[in-house]
Structure 1
Amino acid sequence: MKIMKDNEIALVKEILKKLGASEEDQELVAEATIDADLKGFTSHGLGRFPQYLISIEAGTINLEENITIEKETPAMALINGNSGFGQAVSYKAMQIAIKKAKEMGIACVGVHNSNHFGVTGFYSDLALRENCIGLVIANTDPAIAPLGGKKALIGTNPIALGIPSDTYMTVDMATSVTARGKIIESRRKGLDLPDGWALDKDGNPTNNPEEALEGSILPFGGFKGYALSLLIEVLTGPLVQAGYGNGVSGTASPDKDCTKGDLYIVIDPSKFGDFDEFKANTEDFVSQVRATGENVAIPGDLEVKRISEAEANGIPIDKKLNEQLKEICDNLDIDLDSYLEE
């Protein structure tokens, strides 16, 4: 089975409408969900959507959310998401950061008391649309054991960075060797994990997704990934008054209150000099990079290719996900088959 772009957006919005979400939340969650699937991050797209329904049922997602700005200066803000949809809270936080950056040159907005927001790059992309540089980081439920340790304590702690130019230039990655969502997706599909991804609860290498979720995921690049993940934990935990270490829940445990934190940083290149010159020099550098070899890739190239293919061919729906979606839709009197294709 597969689902086309417009049908996925319509399905997500219809489910959320039936559950009582606002039109704004329906739109933002649908946009973030399809963004993940089109880019190939299916572990954070429709495949992750059933988690949000569990959170709504458990009351850990507040359908009446309305963000609160707790602290503010011309160049920063601290936001309480009031347990709203992570996608809606994050969108609003990034819009505030963009507005402040256009006034001050750079802005930083921290968020706590939000929820899982999908893929990090969706929010850095918002800055690109406004000709700004976007940097987004977040922490998650413990998933990485400190280097030399056995027990997971640090999140997979994603980072996304986008540069405005004619070339889509962006990176969106976990600081673990893979995102936890891919482990969850592998478990759902009944697939083994590649070597070098995870350890079991005793610190032994494992290819079993269930054992990996009970144990820990390895950081990318050994000490470098571990160090980056650890520092992000501080910037998205203590700095923004959110949970950290063992105090983070809700991103992989949807029935628990989400205590993770986010940080949104935006830079307006036009405050440094002429924006067109900045963009031209960036494109010149991209050309230099591509000229070094036939198969040289720029961060973002793969996503552009995946988006084109997914828009043309649709997004695959595996058997288990189809079953999960059917159960959700049957309970809400929605005809799932009308949205899917063979």
Structure 2
Amino acid sequence: MSYYRIEEKALRAFSEESFQKAGFSEEEARIISDVILLSDLYGIESHGVQRFKMYHDNLKSGMVKKYNKTEILKETPVSATLDAHFGMGQLAAYRSMKMAIEKANKTGVGIVTVRNSNHYGIAGYYAKMACEEGLLGLSFTNSGAIMVPTNGRLPMLGSNPIACAMPAEPVDFLFDASTTVVTHGKLEVYRKLGKELPKGWALDDKGEESTDAGRVLDNFNAGKGGGILPLGGADEVHGGHKGYGYGMIVEIFSSILSMGMTSNNCLKGGIDGCCHGFIAIDPDIFGDREEIKNHLSEYLELIRKTLRAAGKERIYTHGEKEIEAMEDRLAKGILVNERTLNEIKEVAEGLQMDCSFY
């Protein structure tokens, strides 16, 4: 399948206009689009404009209640619990991390948990928000159950990513990864491309390994079982129980603390209901902020310069690949596959919008 380079500014302008036409304010459309486009700029195709049609379909179906606003259910100087009332996930998440940042700037720590939300994009966006304020940021979300627990064949947890960002030189530390081997969105991309899944990624409804992305996703959508394996794979020998455990930690910081829907109850009855967690920490509560930043920067540089394995040209630290991908895509355009472009055109036609970059 062909890929095309689309200018970032053109995609951003189209995205912002489309969400305004869908009923959001100019500022809300900017936030939603910023989250989506950062994923593509970082080279994370699974969570960028590839999800564009999904968001608009969810708005049309009513899964996303576009006029609903987040409500504070409980608040302390260091914490808050919010109910998103099934509104747009990016907006609930943005507000929540903003609250966590404000609390961290006042008290040193801010922890915010959210229930009854929708898909919020890449977890790293929100961790990065805190990092840009000189803070340590953490972001978590559960999602519709697609992770099969170790020794099981029914999905009980979502892809449940963990993101962590902290200031460093010359590149901030940024880690953002699902606790499954790959994400649900990655399987969507493989189905679009007509590619077989690598072995060790997924199971079919019988609990047997499957390389058919369409079958795995169809089983998931029909509630038949099967799904994606946790980090480490299918058994304890290779550490699958660790990925399963990391996924449970995400559930605790998102659905459990918020008293929201656990992954196995999300995406049922025409609603999503996923939950999020956000933490911002001011390094000054441990010592001098700049000295801590320098300490991390020195360690990261040591890692980059350590001895390389045979045949390997470079050791990356987390966040470097994303910055290099962004530089490439800002200069040359964002890579979009043919099927995703057709979906964007479909959205444009539905909203009676110009799609001249297509």
Query: In the TM superposition, what is the alpha-carbon distance from 1:34 to its structure 2 partner?
Result: 0.6
Distance 2:257 2:40 in 1: 31
Q: For the Cα contact (< 8 Å) 2:140–2:160, is it kept in 1?
A: yes
> Does the CA-based 8 Å contact 1:136-1:262 persist in structure 2?
yes
1:325 aligns with 2:339: no
Provide the residue aligned with 2:353 in structure 1.
Answer: 334
CA contact 1:199–1:211 (8 Å) conserved in 2: no
The equivalent of 1:117 in structure 2 is: 120
**Letter of the 1:52 counterpart:** Y
Deviation, structure 1 residue 23: 1.2
Verify: 1:259 aligned to 2:273, yes or no.
yes
CA RMSD of aligned residues (A): 1.4
Does residue 202 of structure 1 match 2:206?
yes
1:183 is matched with 187
CA shift for structure 1 position 211: 2.0
Of the structure 1 ranges 236-245 and 152-161, higher mean CA displacement relative to structure 2 is found in: 236-245
- The residue aligned with 2:144 is 141
Q: CA deviation at 1:334?
A: 1.5
Matched, 1:170 2:184: no
The answer on 1:228 being equivalent to 2:246 is yes
Pairwise CA distance, 1:164: 1.3
Deviating beyond 3 angstroms after TM superposition, the runs of 4 or more aligned structure 1 residues are none
Using the TM superposition, give the Cα deviation of residue 322 of structure 1 relative to its aligned residue in structure 2, in angstroms: 1.6
Which blocks of at least 5 consecutive residues in structure 2 are unaligned? 220-225, 233-239, 309-313
Q: Is the CA contact 1:25–1:85 (under 8 Å) kept in the aligned structure 2? A: no
The 5 A counterparts of 1:16-27 are: 16-27=19-30
Point out where structure 1 has 5 or more consecutive residues left out of the alignment: none
* Secondary structure at the counterpart of residue 13 of structure 1: helix
Q: Give the SS at the match of 1:16.
A: helix
Aligned-pair CA distance for 1:163: 1.1
Q: Distance in 2 between matches of 1:184 and 1:16?
A: 23
What residue is the counterpart of 1:67 in the other structure?
A: 70
Q: How many Å separate the matches in 2 of 1:273 and 1:157? A: 32
- Counterparts of 1:260-339 in structure 2, within 5 Å, are 260-293=274-307, 295-336=314-355, 338-339=356-357
How many pairs align?
Answer: 335
Aligned-partner Cα distance in 2 for 1:185–1:23: 30
User: Percent sequence identity over matched residues?
Assistant: 31
Distance 1:137 1:172 in 2: 10
Superposed displacement of residue 230, structure 1? 2.1
Question: What is the CA distance between 1:4 and its match in structure 2?
Answer: 1.2
With normalisation by structure 2, the TM-score equals 0.90
1:248 maps to 266
2:34 matches 1:31? yes
Shift of 1:54: 1.0
TM-score scaled to structure 1, two decimals?
0.94
**Corresponding residue for residue 223 of structure 2:** none
